[in-house]
Amino acid sequence: DHRHGPAASPVVVDQLLIISCDGDDKQFVVALDKLTGKEVWRAEREGAMAYCTPLLIQVTKSDGTTQPQIVCPGGEWVMAYEPRTGKEIWKVRYPKGYSNVPRPVYAQGVVVVSSGYNTPVVFAIDPAGEGDITDTHVRWQMKRGAPLNPSPVVVGEEIYFVSDAGIASCVDLKTGKVHWQQRIPGNYSSSWVSAAGRLYITNEAGVTTVIKPGIEFEILAENTLPGRTLATLAPADGVIYYRSADKLYRIEEGARK
């Protein structure tokens, strides 16, 4: 029972489709054979409902070997599994977190997740541990400006967040140092997009703020299209696609109406 319907997308890992199924009544991660649909493994877990898409990462261990992990945030816990078998590798607890939406990101040896509703906290985790690593491998946390719905993006050494209420943040990925936090107009459900050396974020009223990446806050432009939107911009081959509640727009330099 997902209440709002399932929202997590499947992730393809070799011959497997890996899906987080975190309902209000049952919670598990399942791997299906992508050709036959046959269940290959299932990892049962406990917690509250969640809506987060898993993330496949490659972790360099202390002995120099590389370990694939599938990171699956859920209610109250984020867990990493061995993709082929479903064996749990590590987990980090965030009590009372549920209904997780932002997809985790992984860069420079750090996994970043949001704990979800009702009071989100961002956790930056070293994924090289095993077992319950809550007290040993959490590098930093951030409460102010943590998102309920928008996913962050990494550009260079920094990670960028926007809260649902419009607090934008630039944070050092490795240390958690906040370079800046600024309020931008509107409320947000969509996620950051990095394209053409710029950062784009669109609020629910259709206003897109364009920001210069870096440790100094600088707005380059604000652009408005009609209609309410919860969708993230989609850049491709020099074009940006924008979906409002009732229209799809193609935006490119030099285009004519």
**162 and 91 in a common domain:** no
**180 and 137 in a common domain:** no
Torsional class of 166: left (φ above 0), alpha (ψ -120 to 50), beta (otherwise): left
Question: Residue 183, SS3?
Answer: strand
Question: Residue 23, SS3?
Answer: coil
**119 and 96 in a common domain:** yes
Question: What's the pLDDT score for residue 64?
Answer: 85
Question: What's the pLDDT score for residue 73?
Answer: 94
Residue where a domain terminates, one of 143, 168, 187? 143
**123 and 182 in a common domain:** no
Structure tokens, 130: 């095993």
**131 and 176 in a common domain:** no
**5 and 130 in a common domain:** yes
CATH number at residue 31: 2.40.128.630
Whole-structure pTM value: 0.93
**124 and 13 in a common domain:** yes
- Separation CA 96–CA 151 (nearest Å): 20
**123 and 3 in a common domain:** yes
Question: What's the pLDDT score for residue 1?
Answer: 57
Residue where a domain terminates, one of 143, 174, 198? 143
**235 and 158 in a common domain:** yes
**178 and 254 in a common domain:** yes
**186 and 130 in a common domain:** no
Is cis: bond before 187, omega within 30 of 0?
Answer: no
List per-residue pLDDT tens for the chain, 257 residues long. 566 667 789 999 999 999 999 888 889 999 999 999 999 999 999 888 899 999 999 999 888 889 999 999 999 999 999 999 999 999 999 988 899 999 999 999 999 999 999 999 999 999 999 999 999 999 999 999 999 999 999 999 999 999 999 999 999 999 999 999 999 999 999 999 999 999 999 999 999 999 999 999 999 999 999 989 999 999 999 999 999 999 999 998 876 66
Question: Which of 231, 207, 234 minimizes the C-alpha distance to 219?
Answer: 207
Structure tokens, 36: 């036959």
65-73: Cβ within 8 A, 24+ apart: 68/13, 69/127, 70/11, 70/13, 70/18, 70/29, 71/104, 71/106, 71/111, 71/113, 71/127, 72/20, 72/29, 73/20, 73/100, 73/104, 73/113, 73/114, 73/116
Q: What is the residue range of 77's domain?
A: 1-143
**161 and 126 in a common domain:** no
- Separation CA 40–CA 179 (nearest Å): 45
Residue where a domain terminates, one of 121, 143, 165? 143
Length of the chain measured in residues: 257
Count how many domains the chain has: 2
